[in-house]
Amino acid sequence: MKERVVIVGGGIMGLATAYHLARLGAENVTVLERRFAGYGATFRTGTGIRESFGDETNIWMMRESIKMWKALEEELGHPTEYRQTGYMFLLHTEEEMESFRRNVSLQNSLSVPSRIISPEEAKEIVPPLNIEDVLGAAYNPEDGKANPFLVLQGYKKASLKMGVKIHEYSPVEGIVERGGKRVVKTPRGEFEADILINAAGGWSKLIDRMVAVPSHVEPYKHQAIKTEALERGQINPMVVSFKHGGAYLTQDIADGGVIGGVALAEGPTFDMNPTLEYAIEVSRHFTWLIPALKYVHIVRQWAGFYATTPDKNPVIGEVAPGYYIISGFSGHGFMMSPMATKSLAELIVEGGTSAPLDFYDPHRFERGEFREAAIQMG
């Protein structure tokens, strides 16, 4: 494919799309990143990867993505620290039990091996867990996590090797039409695009605006924390509790520090300052769920954007002739990046894909179609 493809955004979506495009034979792919690759949500992610969703399409996308996650390290020739350490949704009320029983049976019907476990089993899997108010848990051992820094580096290296051009510190400041082509302006020069892809994450609406199309993606500030290093392997799965602040937490593969967050969002906003209130909410809920954490220091806290759509499902596809978007992952883009980017690349190069991209049609909101909201964390 000879068309000049310009991708705005050097996050996981931008780089993995570039990678798949190049693999499918696109010869002229350029990624423009306003800061350094990974600066956006990708380096601020909570690292979780799960197929435990509550609807068929997302379960399918994630089941396929997990197949790709498993092979990614070898494919990229770069470590990813991907591990299938599971997700554990703690259930504290009968209603929660009921709704997760439904999720589990749907998941099982799509051959996801999730199951409802007892509080005692939960404690066996996560020994420091407080099960005082736990009725049960939905557990899927196939879910897991990966290291976003390594993964992004892997895509970057592999893309560069195939001839993709990556320009960092090149913010897109304007897009104009000239001779029927889009011209993308940055302080480092202009780039002509036959095909333009908006992979600008939380900043997507600004790119939509430059192309003069309606946007359905808004930036919401979400935060996360990391604690000091701890003995590894004590909290293997991602432990989630909607009742306790929407907390999610797990141990980092590399140093055993706990990484996670709570559901305390602000927005829409472009402010990325971490807040004190958040650190306190994290402390409150984490020390309830894992009481021994009361002795542990938080060593890092940061904020990033969930690129959020009205139904918490992404927008993937063609918005206007030659203009595509892959954004709006609403807090679960890292996990879905393999299949999402591969299917978009297929759509662009081959004109079609086996993935159910209709579900993520960027125009659905204009038609008044809203999907059932995807399960979101944080």
Partner 1 sequence: MRIERHPILTFRRGRRVKFFFNGREVEAREGETIAMALYAAGIRDLSKSQKFHRPRGLFCAIGKCSSCLLTVDGIPNVRTCIIPVKEGMRVEASEGNPRLADNVPPPKKFMEPETHRTDLLVIGGGPAGLQAAIHAADMGARVTVLDEAPMLGGQLVKQTHKFFGKRQLHAGVRGIKIAEMLIEEVRRRGIEIFSRTSAVGLFPSGEEKVVDAVEAERYLHRFTARAVLVATGAMERYLPFPGADLPGVYGAGAVQTLMNTYGILPGERVLIVGAGNVGLILAYQLMQAGVKVPAVVEALPRVGGYFVHAAKIRRQGVPILTRHTIVRAAGSGRVEQATVAELDERWSVIEGTEKTYDVDVVALSVGLRPSVELLQQAGCSMRFVRELAGLVPLRDRNMQTTVEGIYVAGDASGIEEATTAMLEGTIAGISAGFYLGHGDEKWQERLERARAELEEFRDGPIGREVKKGIERVLI
Can you say how many angstroms the Cα of residue 10 is from the centroid of all Cα atoms in its chain?
14
Any contact of residue 23 with partner 1 (CB under 8 A)?
no
Min CB(315)–partner 1 separation in Å: 33
Any contact of residue 276 with partner 1 (CB under 8 A)?
yes
Any contact of residue 247 with partner 1 (CB under 8 A)?
no
- Residue 269 binds: one of partner 1, ligand FAD, none (C-beta under 5 to 8 A by kind): none
Residues 107-166 contacting partner 1, CB under 8 A: 127-128, 130, 132
Residues that bind ligand FAD (CB under 6 A): 8-14, 32-35, 39-42, 44-48, 171-172, 199-203, 206, 222-224, 261, 304-306, 327, 329, 331-335, 378
Any contact of residue 303 with partner 1 (CB under 8 A)?
no
Binding test (CB under 8 A) with partner 1, winner from 290, 355, 357, 375:
290
Q: Which is nearer to partner 1, 101 or 232 (CB)?
A: 232
Residues 182-241 contacting partner 1, CB under 8 A: 228-232, 234-235
Min CB(16)–ligand FAD separation in Å: 8
Any contact of residue 376 with partner 1 (CB under 8 A)?
no
- Residue 41 binds: one of partner 1, ligand FAD, none (C-beta under 5 to 8 A by kind): ligand FAD
Q: Which is nearer to partner 1, 104 or 230 (CB)?
A: 230
Any contact of residue 294 with partner 1 (CB under 8 A)?
yes
User: Which residues of the chain form contacts with partner 1 (CB under 8 A)?
Assistant: 127-128, 130, 132, 228-232, 234-235, 255-256, 273, 275-276, 279-280, 283-284, 287-288, 290-297
